[in-house]
Amino acid sequence: MMNNPLLTKSTLPFGAPEFDKIENQHYMPAFKKAIEEGKAEVDTIVNNPETPTFKNTIEALEYAGSTLNRISHIFYNLLEADTNDEMQNIAEELAPLTTEFSMYVSLNEALFQRIKYVYEQRNNLSLNQEESRLLEKTYESFARNGANLSPEDKEIYSKYVEELSLLSLQFGKNVLAATNAFSLNITEESELAGLPDYVKEQAAEAAKDKGLEGWLFNLTAPSYGPFMKFSERRDLREKMYRQYNTRAFGGETDNSETIKRIAELRIKVAKLLGYKNYAEYKTERRMVKNPDAVGEFLERLLKPALPKALQEVSDLNTYAKNHGFNEEQIMPWDFSYYAEKLRIEKYDLSDELLKPYFQLENCINAIFDLAHRLYGLTFNELNDIPVYHKDVKVYDVRDNNGSHLALFYADFFPRESKRGGAWMTEFRGQRIYETIEERPLISIVTNFTKPTADTPSLITHDEFTTLLHEFGHALHGIITKGTYESMTGTSVDHDFVELPSQIMENWAYEPEYLNTFAKHYETNETIPNELIEKIVNSKNYLSAYYHIRQLQFGILDMAWHSLTEIFEEDSLTFEKKVLSSTNVLPSIPECIISTAFSHIFAGGYCAGYYSYKWAEVLAADGYSLFKEKGIFNKEVAASFRELLTKGDSIDPAVLYRNFRGHDPEPEALLKDLKIIN
**Residues annotated as part of the active site:** 470
Residue among 410, 305, 190 at smallest CA distance from 675: 305
- CB-based burial label for 11 (10 Å; 0-12, 13-18, 19+): exposed
| Residue 481 near residue 431 (C-beta atoms within 8 A) | no
| Residue 362 near residue 518 (C-beta atoms within 8 A) | yes
| Residue 481 near residue 449 (C-beta atoms within 8 A) | no
With left for phi above 0 and alpha for psi between -120 and 50, is residue 570 left, alpha or beta?
Answer: beta
- What is the rounded distance in angstroms from the CA atom of residue 409 to the CA atom of residue 474? 10
| Residue 126 near residue 271 (C-beta atoms within 8 A) | no
- What is the rounded distance in angstroms from the CA atom of residue 10 to the CA atom of residue 8? 6
- What is the rounded distance in angstroms from the CA atom of residue 442 to the CA atom of residue 384? 17
| Residue 517 near residue 363 (C-beta atoms within 8 A) | yes
With b for 16 or more beta-carbon neighbours within 10 A and e for fewer, the 466-475 pattern comes to: bbbbbbbbbb
| Residue 146 near residue 162 (C-beta atoms within 8 A) | no
Cα distances (angstroms) measured from residue 561 to each of 278, 566, 574, 576: 5, 10, 12, 16
- What is the rounded distance in angstroms from the CA atom of residue 330 to the CA atom of residue 33? 58
Helix 66-81 to helix 24-46 angle (10° resolution) is 150
